Structure 1
Amino acid sequence: MKQMTLIEMDGFLKGKCIPRDLKVNETNAEYLVRKFGELESKLETALRECRSAGITIDNLEAKCAALAAENAGLKAVESNLVRNIINDLGDTEFQYEKVKTPATYAFLAEVRAQCLNAFIQHHSAELDAHIKNSGEQFDEKSVRIRDIIVSARLFREQIRKGAAI
């Protein structure tokens, strides 16, 4: 939709010109009501998108805060470990408790799963191109590519669950 200039709007309101999207037998008032309605629906859509973007940002900030807390814990454990080793330099045995970082593990699993999406999309495009270029849907190459795609999808879901790290 092209925006009216001030001169065009003045001409429209004085009845000297008409907009090109004015419907047959539509009055100026009906036209303006229709246009304001369209703008209002566009505004509502934009507001919904802004709210969903705000929610996404809040979720990302929460994930970052969890990762930062885990990393702070890791640094504290590391400094304690180094301090203990220095204090007990003569003692060769020391206890080490493995630090668990579930938010970091989940984040990295999702990154790995997203990397597999590109692999799956590549092979899906290859399959589409093969079928489009007179390949059969169930010939040897199509079946092999489908097997690759299915295996990658299953592996991606295992990664998301944390089973294939």
Structure 2
Amino acid sequence: MFIDVGAFIGYYVRMVDRLRKNARVVAVEPDPVNLQVLRNKVADCRNTVRIVPRAVWSKDDEEVEFYIGKLTHLKLGLSMWSSILHNERAAHLSGFVVKMKTIRLDTLINLEGVEAVDLVKMDVEGAELPILCDPTLDLSKVKNMIVEVHYN
């Protein structure tokens, strides 16, 4: 199983689809514009891709403000900078805010009903510390994890 937290438009989801036959894939993407592109991009994947339109966070089922980034990616009208955090990403934000439900990473894993997750990729634009430093977070089912870290 592969879980892509901050799946953007599905680059890594599609890569796993090409490289691993019969892979279970979960793509988490809270940005509504990117989410629509993600749905279109993974529609022809041979593996089943479950899309979760939530923000991974340290608490479940909170309704939070999700700050939409400037639409800059390759002039496609997409944002790579959207974040649950405002202060750390303010220079890259568009000023648009949407309400978004949250989910904990371990809750997401447990909802899948698997014994192990082969890989979690996390790109959450500065929210990695609050997510991963939660002392109650259970990552015992995760074999490998790649995290893009933002230092500011």
Q: TM-score, normalized by length of structure 1?
A: 0.17
As a proportion of its length, which structure holds more helix? 1
Q: Larger relative CO (CA 8 A, sep 6+): 1 or 2?
A: 2
Greater strand proportion: 2
From the CA coordinates, give the structure whose radius of gyration is larger.
1
